[in-house]
């Protein structure tokens, strides 16, 4: 059995096998291909792309224990992006945490932290700076018990800089973000699994622009537990939370207890998920028909 992080096995990537960083693979008898992938304990999976009618999953990391959703302080807090990431993180089977980097770039991290913590219910929010060496130990503590951590986030938020701080070594290349919009330059191009000093493993991933949903388990329900809790108070069981009388969700919006943007975000994600499920059904049916034709 070999770990997909060793560069050699990664080159065995065969067609139609979706092998991700962190996967354990069994080589074929001739050692040329991947025989099979050991069942994953967790995986952070997004939809491969927005466009086209291709129904494809993209596993960003597998067999992780803790997935850190990395955002940079100093850039405008992006609640909508974090919500999507949390859905995928809850569905991954790993434990989610939010990691706010570049704490050295702001006078007061509190406003940015509070805004993101608002949508990260029951999820720890850590502050750190890879460059200034702040908040490194608490991250390392998550690796105790030889656990595997993974960093996920947009390009330029400072994932690799943190990796270097955690490893006490410049293992990963980093590059300056663009002036003005703080966008990264996609410096990290392949995911890497690295050994942490002492114990544990760390996966650095290339920054991803789009976080499209993949088929969800209870990720949406968990990421939006506050809104789902409200729906219990709606008068009608089939309430659409739109203009029905006695809607507890709309009541919360009116009272200022629920951000209408968060509600729209939830609706968008539910719709995206429904579309994905419908697409999958079409895909399965097409597959069935093809199978039947072959049998005739
Ligand atoms: N001031 C400050 N700058 C940081 C910090 N962390 C990273 N940076 C800078 O932000 C830029 C991008 O950092 P990277 O670590 O390469 O970002 P990344 O998330 O790995 O980006 P990709 O590999 O493109 O996904 C670099 O210029 C870093 O020096 C920090 O804590 N404070
Ligand atoms: Mg990087
Ligand atoms: Zn309602």
Q: Is the CB of 186 under 6 A from ligand 1?
A: yes
Q: Is the CB of 262 under 6 A from ligand 1?
A: no
**The pLDDT of residue 128:** 98
**The pLDDT of residue 295:** 44
**The pLDDT of residue 292:** 54
pLDDT in tens, 212-225: 888 878 999 999 99
Residue with the bigger pLDDT between 89 and 49: it is: 89
How far, in Å, from the CA of 15 to the mean position of ligand 1? 34
Strand (E) positions, the chain?
Answer: 2-3, 24-27, 34-37, 43-47, 57-62, 66-72, 95-101, 125-127, 148-153, 192-195, 201-204
Mean pLDDT of 220-248: 94
**The pLDDT of residue 48:** 79
> What is the model's pTM?
0.88
Q: Is the pLDDT of residue 180 over 60?
A: yes
Mean pLDDT of 81-109: 96
**The pLDDT of residue 78:** 97
Q: Is the CB of 176 under 6 A from ligand 1?
A: yes
Ligand 1 pocket test target in 171, 184, 204, 208 with most atoms within 8 Å of CB: 184
By the CB criterion, residues less than 5 angstroms from ion ligand 2 are 159-160, 187-188
Q: Which amino acid residue places its CA nearest to atom 14 of ligand 1? A: 158
Domains for the chain: give ranges and CATH numbers. 1-39 (no CATH), 58-204 (3.40.50.300), 219-295 (1.10.40.50)
Which-ligand-closest: CA of 174? 1
Q: Report residue 50's pLDDT band, with 50, 70 and 90 as the boundaries.
A: low
């Amino acid at each position: 059995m070999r770990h997909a992080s060793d560069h050699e096995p990664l080159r065995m990537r065969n067609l139609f096998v979706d092998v991700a960083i962190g996967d354990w693979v069994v080589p074929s008898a001739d050692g040329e291909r991947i025989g099979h992938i050991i069942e994953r304990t967790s995986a952070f999976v997004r939809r491969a792309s927005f466009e086209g009618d291709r129904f494809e999953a993209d596993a960003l990391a597998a067999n992780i224990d803790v997935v850190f959703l990395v955002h940079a302080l100093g850039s405008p807090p992006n609640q909508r992006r974090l919500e999507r990431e949390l859905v995928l993180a809850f569905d991954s089977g790993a434990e989610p945490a939010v990691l706010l980097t570049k704490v050295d770039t702001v006078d007061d991290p509190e406003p940015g932290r509070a805004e993101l913590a608002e949508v990260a219910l029951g999820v720890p929010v850590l502050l750190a700076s890879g460059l200034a060496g702040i908040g490194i130990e608490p991250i390392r503590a998550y690796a105790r018990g030889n656990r595997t951590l993974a960093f996920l986030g947009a390009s330029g938020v400072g994932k690799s800089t943190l990796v270097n701080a955690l490893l006490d070594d410049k293992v990963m290349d980093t590059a300056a973000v663009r002036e003005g919009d703080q966008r990264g330059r996609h410096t990290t191009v392949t995911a890497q699994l690295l050994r942490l000093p002492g114990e544990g493993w760390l996966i650095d991933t290339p920054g991803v622009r789009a976080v499209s949903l993949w088929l969800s388990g209870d990720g949406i329900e968990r990421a939006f537990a506050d809104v789902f809790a409200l729906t219990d108070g709606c008068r009608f069981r089939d309430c659409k939370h739109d203009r029905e009388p006695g809607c507890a969700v709309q009541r919360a919006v009116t009272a200022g207890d629920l951000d209408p943007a968060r509600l729209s975000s939830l609706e968008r994600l539910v719709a995206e998920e429904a579309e994905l499920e419908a697409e999958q059904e079409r895909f399965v049916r097409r597959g069935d028909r093809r199978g039947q034709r072959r049998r005739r």
